[in-house]
Structure 1
Amino acid sequence: MFLETGVILLSVCLVTEAQTALQQDAISLTKSIGKSVIFKCTVTGSPSYIHWYQKKEGEPFKRVLYISYNTGSTTKDNDHPQNADFSGEKSGGAYKLKISNIKMIHAGTYYCACWVYHRDTNAVDY
């Protein structure tokens, strides 16, 4: 029996006076079990971090990882039960989430979001 899992990508971002925005290439991706998938968000502006979240029906959002806008360093969320299956990368203005060896448990909606620093209030939106 051939199994497939549907993995859906959406992106959201708050737009502030800094004119920060995210754009994605694909809304929906379907990949076979055991394959890899890469989601990409292109960023304009200069947020502090790009965050990747997983959303499954009936469950709260779970942060997978975040990537520094300035350095490109990736930090995995230790609270995510499959965090070993995810990796992140900055490549130019693109921030990528990779899922290696897709399993049924990875099926869900993946969101990229950004934090935007407000210079006047020292507050961060997300």
Structure 2
Amino acid sequence: MGTVNMWTPILLSNYGDVHRLGLLKQTQLSITKAESKTIRIECHATVSDFGNAYIHWYRQKPGAPPERILYFSSQLHLDSDSDKEKFNAEKKIDKSLCILTIRRIASSDAATYYCQNTGTGKQ
């Protein structure tokens, strides 16, 4: 019997805050990967004081409201301790880039993921 690869689609969205806080833009429209692989989702920022800005990552599963996964400025804060091994986020300040990493993806990770900027307050 052969091995069946399950593919999990990850949809991305451009919900960046375009007001005084600057713009966050995700250039990847969608990602599809085999289960148990790792995905990196990039979000490019046009944000003043990007190094100190709070970046939030959200996911919205089909038929469900959006939920925040994590936020970070200089330190990562996960909304659920059980997600410690699943999610990570980092900033590449010199490239004005924030990156969400999702490890060991599963079919339950199929969702729309997006980033948001709240300036220098975590809100």
TM-score normalized with structure 2 length: 0.81
Identity %: 32
For residues 105 and 57 of structure 1, the distance between their equivalents in structure 2, rounded to whole angstroms, comes to 11
For residues 16 and 33 of structure 1, the distance between their equivalents in structure 2, rounded to whole angstroms, comes to 37
Per the alignment, residue 120 of structure 1 pairs with: none
Q: From the two aligned structures, give the one with the greater helix fraction.
A: 2
The root-mean-square deviation of aligned C-alpha atoms, in Å, is 2.2
- Aligned-pair CA distance for 1:16: 2.1
Q: From the two aligned structures, give the one with the greater strand fraction.
A: 1
- Tell me, yes or no, if the aligned pair for 1:16 and 1:116 is still in contact at 8 Å: no
For residues 43 and 13 of structure 1, the distance between their equivalents in structure 2, rounded to whole angstroms, comes to 9
TM-score normalized with structure 1 length: 0.79
Q: Which runs of 4+ in 1 moved over 2 A?
A: 81-84
- Whichever residue aligns with residue 84 of structure 1, its letter is E
Per the alignment, residue 114 of structure 1 pairs with: 117
Unaligned runs of 5+ in 1: 118-123
Q: Does 1:14 align with 2:4?
A: no
SS at match of 2:99: strand
- Aligned-pair CA distance for 1:15: 1.8
- Aligned-pair CA distance for 1:116: 3.5
SS at match of 1:105: helix
